[in-house]
Copies of this chain bind each other. A is one copy, B any other.
Amino acid sequence: MDQRIAVGVLGATGSVGQRFVSLLDEHPWFRVTEVAASKRSAGKPYSEAAQWLQSSPLPEAVADLTVREVGASMDTPIVFSALSASVAGEVEEEMAGQGHLVISNARSHRMDPDVPLLIPEVNPDHLALVDRQRWNGGGIITNPNCSTIGIALALKPLHDAFGVRALHAVTLQAVSGAGLPGVPSVEMLDNAIPYIPGEEDKIERETGKILGDLTSAGVEAAAIEVSAQCNRVPVVDGHLAAVSVGLKGGSELDAAELGRILAEFSGEPQDLGLPTAPARPIHVLSGEADPQPRRHRDLEGGMAVSVGRLRPCPILGWRFVVLSHNTIRGAAGGAILCGELALARGLVPGVSGTWPSAS
């Protein structure tokens, strides 16, 4: 008998929703038993409602599920949300109120004081916030913005070692980050677009919360000055960021030592051996023109972040380039890892004890 935990996916027909379905296929702990989307899709089989765009085939177990309308009740202890922010806020609260653990990719609740903005390798302790939430048994965990995740992950070991005081990030972001339909190709071919609505604010606000300290009053954001400029480029998947960083110490280090600090970084998901966790969260590449989206976005199934060109910055101290797969580590994969951590820590409603030892 399939003892895996049933999960639902909200916004299952969109770009990130499809990634959830694809990545959860043959997942050892979870299986998708419910999918929800907008009214237009409701009542149809998933295979018909979703215009499947992944290069892997549509998993058969999901193809025949009947799509529910977002807002309808679901029977799964865990609900992954790929909803757009325009509807996510309310729906996710409702689902949490009904006792689900909602793990959301939407921005709606990210800055709520009692909601963890979670990167499992970076701030697993923030999960304690869930106990302070007002939902009866349910809860909300959020996944940071797709660009922020890669940057914050690369900053974490530097923040631990020296403290980060300033971050200047210019991103080159893939079109899959804009969802569907996203950017018209007539605007994107032979072009770069130096603005992504809302994106810079997210990087500027989320980074401090992710790297902040948990206190009795909530998360105290790390005091980091952040300047972000976000650009859309004709790349399918993989967000690149040119990062300059000011540290509170470490002036005596050379690039090789700094690289070692990044490469050796490891966190709780690695300790626990969570199924979706990369063996090494940060790969430090030595190629002079690395990382590159097409060549490195799929490292460790798209869950590892890659860093290259680590060198001094004449203005802020250090600079480097960081790449992460925006719809895997930066969205669906990252959220699944959050779910795995929540399960391992016994936070999933109705699942007693810890997992997988409990099984």
Contact = CB atoms under 8 A, between A and B. Distances in A.
A314 B192 contact: no
Interface stretch (A144-152, A180-188, A332-340): A180-188
Given A194-B291, A234-B189, A55 B314 contact: no
A225 B315 contact: yes
Nearest to A54: B295
Interface string A120-151: 00000000000000000000000000000000
Interface string A234-257: 111000101010000000000000
Contact of A293 (B54, B184, B190, B313): B190
A187 B189 contact: no
Contacts of A309: 194-195, 229
A191 to B, nearest CB: 4
A187 B292 CA distance: 10
A280 to B, nearest CB: 12
Given A227-B315, A292-B194, A315-B225, A175 B185 contact: yes
A1 interface: no
A195 to B, nearest CB: 4
A23 B302 CA distance: 20
A159 interface: no
Interface stretch (A29-37, A68-76, A164-172, A258-266): A164-172
Interface string A83-114: 00000000000000000000000000000000
The contact size tier of chain A is 35 or more
Contacts of A234: 185, 189-190, 233-235
Interface string A316-351: 100101000000000000000000000000000000
Contacts of A240: 192, 194, 231
Contact of A186 (B175, B191, B319): B175
A244 B168 contact: yes
Given A185-B187, A315-B166, A192 B172 contact: yes
B194 A189 contact: no
A112 to B, nearest CB: 24
Contacts of A226: 314
Contacts of A176: 186
A182 to B, nearest CB: 5
A8 to B, nearest CB: 25
A204 B319 CA distance: 15
A161 interface: no
Contact of A185 (B55, B188, B315, B319): B188
B229 A242 contact: yes
Contacts of A192: 172, 233, 235, 240, 292-293
A96 to B, nearest CB: 31
B186 A225 contact: no
Given A55-B297, A181-B181, 12 more contacts: A55-B296, A170-B229, A180-B184, A188-B189, A189-B236, A192-B293, A194-B291, A195-B309, A227-B319, A229-B244, A229-B309, A233-B233
